[in-house]
Structure 1
């Protein structure tokens, strides 16, 4: 089934989604289910409400409003009827399910020792649909590869949430692991890639097997904290390239530094609009100050599609003119 993620939803909500025109259904990025409030979807970066007839509207008063039965059924489906086994996910506020789909949760927090112990009375869900986009990295990878030394340059990809960082990272892993032989652009060897997939979003693994194509020479540590996973990779799996999503904690920066000193190329993502913003973040500021990254890829989304800029570690623009290269909807 092409849109198997539809099976996540209770029958009434699923029936409404299935009435959407196929082009819109194929580009759905988020479905927001809020008990007693309008059902909202995001496709191609556009937000609409969904009516009880399965049509789109900008008027929240016309929208279908999921009831308690819908929210309880949805929670039952995404937890595979075993909510008690997902205590750690409930503490973090999200659940990642097979296929790399991530469901953010909202409800009442239960505190312990001043921290969040878990969520209860869950009535809000943000279902983010993960998709592979083969070719998303085509225009970017040439800037990240050093032909003379046949290595990937240390790279940080940054953008606000929902701008395609993970989608790009997934395709970079696939292309770097696969390599390229005999093309007009020249050959590129396939390299050993290690993915630390803390939220199971990059590879979408099911019982350790990736559901996305991340390349033939790729090893994955699924559900493993980034810093610990990067050190495990360095010690035992000898990757040529190490990939991690959404770094930002001090321990993440320490692990990145260790990998760079070990001669391992690092591809990572972080939230932000500009490189200058990251200098004010304690963990990442040190990496930037010491010019640990050789390339910065900045993704930007607008009504006309996706664009990107690539900078070197001197903040010099490498993508030439025009200022931003268009990437269509490749990173959506």
Structure 2
């Protein structure tokens, strides 16, 4: 995890390395708040580093490492509130916001850092894939609360469709990665394995990106993560009517949540999706995944 440790000054690097030890595989987040203990969030526990609280100098060091000593070069990322680093790890930032005309222009005096550890779980989609194919891939919506693994699952679905599995040949896949989480691209190059036939539009708004990819890359499967606003739903409908299969995700606790939301309920009522995958929040190594058909009938429950 050198790409993460390099962000910290030497004394903090040593403390974190010693505290985590051989548990990097279970570490989910490192939260650094100036003048407060560093927080280590694992799959099923939280630990703290109290020895030396980070100060302004520590914060400046982190910012310089993240921006490679050029805040101007990272202007867009800083405005969006996160930066993707080598290895696909995402660093969320917070502090004093500079606005102009009601729009966020920059985050200044960055004093809060959330390093989210990227993990690619190869094979996590394998049990589900046979249920998402009937002569062709089925339009599929993944529903789950934050940190339930929606992006991790959809990433592995992309890899399998793009590379091929069992008797199924590789398909052309287009990923619109607005928040750089699916592929975690650095300078346009995905840091995660997205398969052999995947094209990525990185850091592009979903609604615009879907139409751009359909026109330019002729995908067979189109993938977007965490749809939300009216524009996203309108673009989804346009993409589906163009004949492209859609894999996407949305925040929610259950299928009932989907039905209660005016925008997503419209997709449900019109039978846009043939499959729904509902994720609960992972507890340690355990997670339940429920599979539903277009009418909302539960087909199968997966546990790992």
Q: TM-score, normalised by structure 1?
A: 0.86
Question: Residue 177 of structure 1 is aligned with which of 162, 186, 190?
Answer: 162
* Runs of 4+ with >6 A deviation: none
Give the secondary-structure state (helix, strand or coil) at the position aligned to 1:278. Answer: helix
Q: CA deviation at 1:22?
A: 4.1
Which residue number in structure 2 is paired with residue 285 of structure 1? 265
Query: Can you give the 5+ residue segments of structure 1 that lack an aligned partner in the other structure?
Result: 53-63, 182-186, 328-332
- 8 Å Cα contact 1:91-1:116 kept in structure 2: yes
Q: How many pairs does the alignment contain? A: 303
Moved more, 42-51 or 263-272: 42-51
Question: Quick one: distance in 2 between partners of 1:154 and 1:45?
Answer: 33
Question: Residue 317 of structure 1 is aligned with which of 291, 295, 298?
Answer: 298
Question: Quick one: distance in 1 between partners of 2:92 and 2:186?
Answer: 19
**1:229-308 to 2 correspondences below 5 Å:** 229-300=209-280, 301-303=282-284, 305-308=286-289
Which residue number in structure 1 is paired with residue 39 of structure 2? 40
Q: CA RMSD in A?
A: 1.7
Question: Quick one: distance in 2 between partners of 1:3 and 1:174?
Answer: 26
Which residue number in structure 2 is paired with residue 139 of structure 1? 127
Question: Residue 96 of structure 1 is aligned with which of 73, 81, 84?
Answer: 84
Q: CA deviation at 1:203?
A: 1.2
Q: CA deviation at 1:86?
A: 2.3
Question: Quick one: distance in 2 between partners of 1:206 and 1:168?
Answer: 21
Assess, with a 3 A threshold, how the Cα gap between structure 1 residues 72 and 247 changes in structure 2: closer, same or farther. same
Which residue number in structure 2 is paired with residue 159 of structure 1? 144
Give the secondary-structure state (helix, strand or coil) at the position aligned to 2:73. Answer: helix
- 8 Å Cα contact 1:250-1:282 kept in structure 2: no
Question: Quick one: distance in 1 between partners of 2:262 and 2:298?
Answer: 25
Query: Can you give the 5+ residue segments of structure 2 that lack an aligned partner in the other structure?
Result: none
1:78 and 2:58 correspond: no
Which residue number in structure 1 is paired with residue 111 of structure 2? 123
Question: Quick one: distance in 2 between partners of 1:290 and 1:77?
Answer: 49
- 8 Å Cα contact 1:177-1:218 kept in structure 2: yes
